[in-house]
Amino acid sequence: MSETNVAPTDFIREIINEDLRTGRFNYVRTRFPPEPNGYLHIGHAKAICIDFGIAEEYGGVCNLRFDDTNPAKEEAKYVQAIKEDIRWLGFDWGDREYYASDYFEQLYEWAIQLIKDGKAYVDSLSPEEIKEYRGGFGVPGKESPYRNRSVEENLDLFQRMRAGEFREGEHVLRAKIDMQSGNMNLRDPVMYRILHAPHHRTGNRWCIYPMYDWAHGQCDSIEGITHSLCDLAYEDHRPLYDWFLDQLGIFHPRQIEFARLNLSYTVLSKRYLLRLVEGGYVSGWDDPRMPTLAGMRRRGYPPEAIRAFCDRIGVAKSENLVDIALLEHCVREELNKRAPRVMGVLRPLRVVLVNYPEDQVEEVEAINNPEDPGMGVRKVPFSRVLYVEQEDFMEDPPRKWFRLAPGREVRLKHAYYITCVDVVKDERGQVVELRCTYDPETRGGGSPDGRRVLGTLHWVSAAHALDAEVRLYDYLFSKPDPMEVEEGKDFISNLNPNSLEVLDSCKVEPSLRGAAPGSRFQFLRQGYFCVDPDSTPQKLVFNRTVTLKDTWSKIAKGQQEE
């Protein structure tokens, strides 16, 4: 690669430029290393965008490598889900799909090498004793009595560990570094533990498995990774990785750590997300309220929006809590350009046009997307009985009310001006029907006399509308930082009880018939909605992806406070 001066936009690119300039590396290769023990979330999306994005920017490649060193927690189904999510985001790892388990044999040989060099030993302390011997912060550790076994004995024991002669916990292989180190990771870290568990790829071939710390650096090295980008949490593991690489004398990647993403009103940790799933607080990993990629996909977030978001939040080393409003902004921005407009009434209120002919049906023309005329137009049926939104009528409206009220004239989008002349109530005083007149001169939404109306409402023709269920979502948690809890409580106590509202008697325009799961629309004046896989031919199910920005709700709130 010749051009080494990509404009730095963050500290990572700055370092890479320097490495290229000084000749430490003459190419760029990164990797994204998920553990197949759960689903990817928006925090992973940040890492994916950085890993794949940087490689692409520098004309290099990014490997996908599954960190599958713990068979007790990992499953093949997660491998599939992770691959699907990365592809959905729009990234491609070509044929470079690797597994830490591909390197088990090599790792084993390197372990033998360290034993022979007197740099690793088999320890037979119990897990509790190892913990005790490790010491604490400011308290130096003690050396294990097994630390000075002979090379021959270590070799023999380690080989027998592999051969399956011991029970779990009986022995481990440890690196011989420094029990006094201020860095806990250097206090003779465990390299191998015995696990009599089948592995999703290697089956029953192994009963000893490498620890992540022993595997990761060497895997990077084998793959010729130049820049190993990871979480800040691994900052003080770096000296250990360096130590292993130096002892082995193999290719030495550079590790650079950056701060993980935190998003307001949500949690981003596989452990907590698993808790939500297993506790039944959500319907699954792909619940549309989940910050998982599967959840966001089902919710209707376009992958482009997630990538735009990741670009905008930047990369740095400081702790952060990104406002979820930024993510929503990116989603709206993308959907505004792309989503076809349709009309759907969430909470229907019957409207009868008293001066409209009983059996007449007209087709009015509606533009599919004012942002993109290329998306064309469609016909929408109009007739004497319609539905409008309940909240678009007020019997006694406040100031600045642009919608329907007794005597008020509004425009029905794409159709006619109507004026409310009567209000029908049931025995409990609930408004059940509006009687309105329409002005035949205003077809298409304009009037020959040029008079103006304040508001424009969406509507559907009662006889033609399709039944639909709409699921409205709000933040899963009621606090920006769900981890901020009262004494003795945990984040579950911060769950938002109103995060899901199901509306099951919605009416949508007939053009939506047969809409495919996953397709996204803007319901005029309401927000963006995505067809859920739960839809049936009889009933469409929509997820509200995100609302439109709503100026009126602010005005109304302001008026309430007066």
Partner RNA sequence: UGGGGGAUCGUCUAGUGGUAGGACACGUGACUCUGGAUCACGGCACCGGGGUUCGAAUCCCUGUCCCCCAGCCA
- Residues with a catalytic annotation lie at 35, 260, 270
Q: Of 287 and 525, which has the nearer Cβ to RNA?
A: 525
Q: Of 92 and 365, which has the nearer Cβ to RNA?
A: 365
Report the nearest approach of RNA to the CB of residue 175 (Å): 11
Could you tell me the maximum CA-CA distance found in the chain, to the nearest angstrom?
Answer: 102
Q: What is the DSSP letter of 133?
A: H
Report the nearest approach of RNA to the CB of residue 554 (Å): 5
Q: Of 363 and 504, which has the nearer Cβ to RNA?
A: 363
Q: Strands, E, within 23-117: which ranges?
A: 29-32, 61-66, 97-99
Alpha carbon distance 540, 465 (integer Å): 12
Contacts of 130 (CB under 8 A, 6+ apart): 123, 144, 172, 190
Question: Is 437 within 8 Å of 421 (Cβ atoms)?
Answer: yes
Q: Of 6 and 283, which has the nearer Cβ to RNA?
A: 6
Report the nearest approach of RNA to the CB of residue 537 (Å): 28
Q: Of 289 and 525, which has the nearer Cβ to RNA?
A: 525
Q: Of 245 and 324, which has the nearer Cβ to RNA?
A: 324
Alpha carbon distance 73, 68 (integer Å): 9
Asked whether the CA dihedral 473, 478, 479, 483 is positive or negative, the reply is negative
Contacts of 186 (CB under 8 A, 6+ apart): 177, 178, 239, 240, 243
Contacts of 178 (CB under 8 A, 6+ apart): 186, 187, 188
- Can you tell me which residue has the tokens 């000749």? 23
Report the nearest approach of RNA to the CB of residue 174 (Å): 9
Q: Of 254 and 534, which has the nearer Cβ to RNA?
A: 254
How would you write 490-535 as a 3-class SS string? CHHHHECCCCEEEEEEEEECHHHCCCCCCCEEEECCCEEEEECCCC
Report the nearest approach of RNA to the CB of residue 104 (Å): 12
Question: Is 528 within 8 Å of 473 (Cβ atoms)?
Answer: no
Q: How many CB atoms lie within 10 A of CB 257?
A: 18
Report the nearest approach of RNA to the CB of residue 193 (Å): 4
User: Residue 496 carries which side chain, given as an amino acid letter?
Assistant: N
Question: Is 4 within 8 Å of 21 (Cβ atoms)?
Answer: yes
Q: Of 234 and 272, which has the nearer Cβ to RNA?
A: 234
Per the structure block, which two tokens stand in for 419? Answer: 């004026």
Contacts of 509 (CB under 8 A, 6+ apart): 342, 343, 344, 380, 460, 461, 464, 465, 466
Burial label for 147, CB within 10 Å (0-12, 13-18, 19+), is middle
Let me know how many helices (H) and strands (E) the chain has, helices first.
13, 25
Alpha carbon distance 403, 457 (integer Å): 7
Q: Of 205 and 539, which has the nearer Cβ to RNA?
A: 205
Closest CA to 435 of 422, 425, 426: 422
